[in-house]
A and B are shown apart, each in its own frame.
Chain A
Amino acid sequence: MTEDETAQAIAADPEHVRGLLRQMLRVRRLEEECVELYSASKIRGFLHVYIGEEAVAAGVMSVLAADDAVVATYREHGHALLRGVPATAIMAEMYGHAEGCCRGRGGSMHLFDAGTRFYGGNAIVAGGLPLAVGLALADKMAGRHRVTVCFFGEGAVAEGEFHESLNLAALWDLPVLFCCENNLYAMGTALERSESQTDIALKAAVYEVSAWAVDGMDVLAVEEAARRAVDAVRGGGGPHFLELRTYRFRAHSMFDPERYREKAEVERWMKRDPIVLLRSALEASGALSSDQWEALEQEVAAEVRDAVAFAEAGTLEPVEELTRFVYSERSPR
């Protein structure tokens, strides 16, 4: 969005825009804590943080209804949190504790929550797209006007499941919003080193899916695009596709020495930090005082602190429970 458009959006509803800033900050501070806790060996396994990409989840989640569904990837702490999964349950899950949102069975890459219709947490690139198509198919067959949102990275575009899913969704006119988080690197492989055609929205459009690219560092632009797309999908307009151009500020995972990209490139993108951009715009509009910012930081810090305390106080599921949840325990319907 232009400076003028941003200023207008702030003037129209400063409370709402401050809310978006708050949501991005909640993700940022939670992720920073995760990195610390990983270094302290409190969290193990693979850990992929969302720092730099917060505007995408914040903008999209903002326009969803309570009974919509979300399918995400292994870099999904932010999606889970902003979808409404409590930070406490997320953190306890990463601790591998019974109080975690998956009782310690999933960990960082597999957060699930039935209450918010959050269907993971999928650690196979593109593996979630067919699930989203199926969730949307169920809604369509049942005559429900719900939307299924599917997040995935641009690396998924190289997988067959991406193409099969877009084709199916368009062929059957299903209520899915595909959100491609294009952070330019599939682990360490740059987009231009893996795709002959790097215009991802164009690839989606080939399947007759309404698709366009959005500045993924501008939460207001993301929200505006997501609202337009979700309204269209909910109104029976068939699948839509957003290519959200963003950037991952941190390493791919905790095992990534980042040999594949230049520091200067990272620094260049960090000048477009979505939190800094929105905070500056709010301050320039006089819609965020230093006291308000400080209060926000403190509120978010308290949430993170509480999450860590909750996780620390968590318990280990007894080993006798190991083989539970391989098959359902309730009797057949």
Chain B
Amino acid sequence: MKTTYREAIRAAIRDAMQRDERVFLMGEDVGRYGGGFAVSLGLLEEFGPRRIRDTPLSEAGFVGAGIGAALGGMRPIVEIMTVNFSLLALDQIVNNAATLLHMSGGQFNVPIVIRMTTGGGRQLAAQHSHSLEGWIAHIPGLRVLAPATLEDARGMLWTALEDPDPVLIFEHGSLYNVAGELADDAGAVDTDTAAVRRAGADVSLITYGGTLPTVLEAAEALANDDIDAEVLDLRTLRPLDDDAIVATVEKTHRAVVIDEGWRSGGISAELSARITENAFFDLDAPVARVCSEEVPVPYAKHLERAALPSVERIVAAAREAVGARG
């Protein structure tokens, strides 16, 4: 069937609500407004205000309440409108959700799912364009997912809800309108493995989430130059699929990491370090990185475009990696 990323997530929420009475959705404007990004449009009419719960603008309060409800036996889906606002809830995410199981010696797990929009590219300027999923992936106790395809938008939520521990799902804002074909029986997908989205032999382009379409476009541009790029979609940022990362590097011997987050201390640094640790002797070139420029994301279109990873920068980095071929 024809669908969009937005509709696929909505279908996943609807499916979860139908399958498990303990599941409910809460967040700012998820009900009457239909969701800040229209993901939950229509669900209030379908499931009622008890299970589609509008919240005040109290990120720490309702994320913490979601954690408490999870402790109390529910399976909450908490929507934070954007990653930028999630900073107001970091105490609850980092100090409670991530720690309670360990601090309690294994007594209290927290089966919460927190969804939020992430990323830039829509001229929303510095306070609405953060890509902080790599930051969150720093925290033990959490699982961090970044669905980039319709299949993952449809399938990751149920798997996350079945996880006994906290799962954060980062949905890139530029993906919601992506349309395509999805199997009628599409359902839950695994959240443990990375996926090769394009097989290739010359260089590995390693990315996730909202940058995947840009990277696939870059791979096509490289193909015109007879450079055969493999594209690895990480899908899950914590825990990382080390086997898949090593496998692609063993195959192509060159790696370019593309991440919309900043370079310094970001997940791209982690990926580069892991490749160095686990596949150093397979490398024929230094690991390259294409990240956002280290500025708060600006409003003006040309400046924003220059700040974020682009096809041109990815192609240039891949060419340089391949040019280093001994």
Which residues of chain A have a CB within 8 Å of any CB of chain B? 69, 100-106, 110, 112-114, 119-122, 124, 127, 129-139, 141-142, 160-161, 164-165, 167-168, 171, 324-330, 332-333
Output the least CB separation between A319 and chain B (Å).
15
Q: Is B227 an interface residue (CB 8 A)?
A: no
How far in angstroms is the closest Cβ of chain A from B144?
13
- B50 to chain A: which residues have CB within 8 Å? 141
B200 at interface, CB cutoff 8 A: no
Contact of B107 among A69, A114, A129, A142 (CB under 8 A): A114
- Is B56 in contact with A325, judged by CB distance below 8 angstroms? no
Are A133 and B100 interface neighbours, CB within 8 A? no
Q: List which B118-135 residues lie within 8 A (CB) of chain A.
A: none
Complex contact A134–B101 (CB within 8 A): no
Given the complex, which residues of B lie within 8 Å of A165, measured CB to CB?
Answer: 61, 64-65
Chain A interface, >50% SS class: mixed
B64 touches A130 (CB 8 A): yes
CA distance A267 to B163 in the complex (A): 54
Question: Chain A nearest CB: distance from B104 CB in Å?
Answer: 4
Encode contact with A along B37-67: 1 for CB under 8 Å, 0 otherwise.
Answer: 0000000000000100001101011111111
CB-defined A-B contacts under 8 Å, sample of 21: A102-B104, A106-B105, A121-B103, A131-B71, A131-B96, A133-B68, A134-B64, A134-B68, A137-B65, A138-B68, A141-B50, A160-B60, A161-B91, A325-B105, A327-B101, A327-B143, A329-B106, A330-B164, A333-B111, A333-B162, A333-B164
Beta-carbon contact of A130 and B106 below 8 Å: no
Q: What's the minimum C-beta distance from A140 to chain B, rounded to whole angstroms? A: 9
Residue of B nearest to A133 (CB): B65
Q: Is B182 an interface residue (CB 8 A)?
A: no
Q: How far is the CA of A6 from the CA of B64 in the complex (A)?
A: 40
Q: A105-B105, A330-B164 are in contact. Are A131 and B67 (CB under 8 A)?
A: yes
Cβ contacts B215-244/A at 8 Å (1 or 0 each): 000000000000000000000000000000
Partner of A113, one of B70, B101, B107, B143: B107
Q: How far is the CB of A84 from chain B (nearest CB, A)?
A: 15
- Answer yes or no: B265 CB below 8 A from chain A CBs: no
- B contact residues around A133 at 8 Å (CB): 61, 64-65, 68
B292 / chain A contacts, CB cutoff of 8 Å: none
Closest to A110 in B: B103
Q: CA of A103 to CA of B62 in the docked complex: distance in angstroms?
A: 30
B105 pairs with A141, CB closer than 8 A: no
A132 to B92, CA, bound (A): 12
Contact B165 A327 (CB under 8 A): yes
Complex-state Cα separation, A164 to B63, whole angstroms: 11
Considering the chains assembled together, what is the distance between the CA atoms of A100 and B24 in angstroms? 35
Interface centre among B62, B73, B106 (most CB of A within 10 A): B106
Closest to A106 in B: B103
Inter-chain contact B162/A120, CB cutoff 8 Å:
no
Q: Which 7 A-B pairs have the closest CB atoms?
A: A134-B68, A130-B64, A138-B72, A164-B61, A103-B105, A112-B104, A164-B58
Q: How many residues of B contact A (CB 8 A)?
A: 43
Residues of A within 8 A of B66 (CB): 134
Q: Determine the distance from Cα of A6 to Cα of B277 in the docked complex, in whole angstroms.
A: 72
Closest Cβ of chain B: how far from A136's Cβ, in Å? Answer: 8
CB neighbours (8 Å) of A130 from chain B are 60-65, 67-68, 92
Report if B109 contacts A (CB, 8 A).
yes
**B69 is an interface residue with CB less than 8 A from chain A:** yes
B141 at the interface (CB under 8 A from A): yes
Alpha-carbon distance A113/B106, docked complex (angstroms): 10
Counting chain B CB atoms within 10 Å of each CB, the highest count among A104, A114, A138, A168 belongs to: A138
Q: Given A102-B105, A168-B62, does the pair A134, B70 have CB atoms closer than 8 Å?
A: yes
Complex interface: chain A residues within 8 A of B95 (CB): 124, 127
| Complex interface: chain A residues within 8 A of B61 (CB) | 130, 133, 161, 164-165, 167-168
> B296 an interface residue at 8 Å Cβ cutoff?
no
The answer to whether the Cβ of B180 comes within 8 Å of any Cβ in the partner chain is: no
A119 — which chain B residues lie within 8 A by C-beta?
71, 108
**Most chain A CB inside 10 Å of its own CB: which residue of B72, B76, B165:** B72
Give every chain B residue within 8 A of A328 (Cβ-Cβ): 101, 106, 109, 164-165
What separation, in Å, do the CA atoms of A100 and B106 have in the docked complex? 12
New A-B contacts (20) at CB < 8 Å, excluding given A112-B105, A165-B65: A69-B72, A106-B103, A112-B104, A122-B96, A130-B60, A130-B68, A134-B69, A134-B70, A137-B65, A137-B68, A137-B69, A138-B68, A142-B73, A161-B61, A161-B64, A164-B61, A167-B58, A326-B101, A328-B106, A333-B162
Q: Give CA–CA (A329, B163) in the complex, Å.
A: 11
Q: Is the CB of B60 within 8 A of A138?
A: no
Q: With A102-B107, A112-B104, A161-B64 as given contacts, are A326 and B141 in contact (CB-CB < 8 Å)?
A: yes
Task: Please report the C-alpha to C-alpha distance between residue A114 and residue B105 in the assembled complex, in whole angstroms.
Answer: 10
Q: Does B285 contact A (CB under 8 A)?
A: no
A161 touches B60 (CB 8 A): yes
Contact of A120 among B73, B100, B109, B111 (CB under 8 A): B100
**Is B65 a contact partner of A134 (Cβ separation < 8 A)?**
yes
- Assess whether B179 is interfacial by the CB under 8 Å rule: no
Measured between alpha carbons, how far is A103 from B101 in the docked complex, in Å? Answer: 12
CB of A127 within 8 A of CB of B96, answer yes
Contacts of A171 in B (CB 8 A): 56
- Alpha-carbon separation in the docked complex, A106 to B162 (Å): 27
Within the complex, the shortest CB–CB distance from B183 to chain A, in Å, comes to 24
Q: Report yes or no: B104 in contact with A120, Cβ–Cβ below 8 A.
A: yes
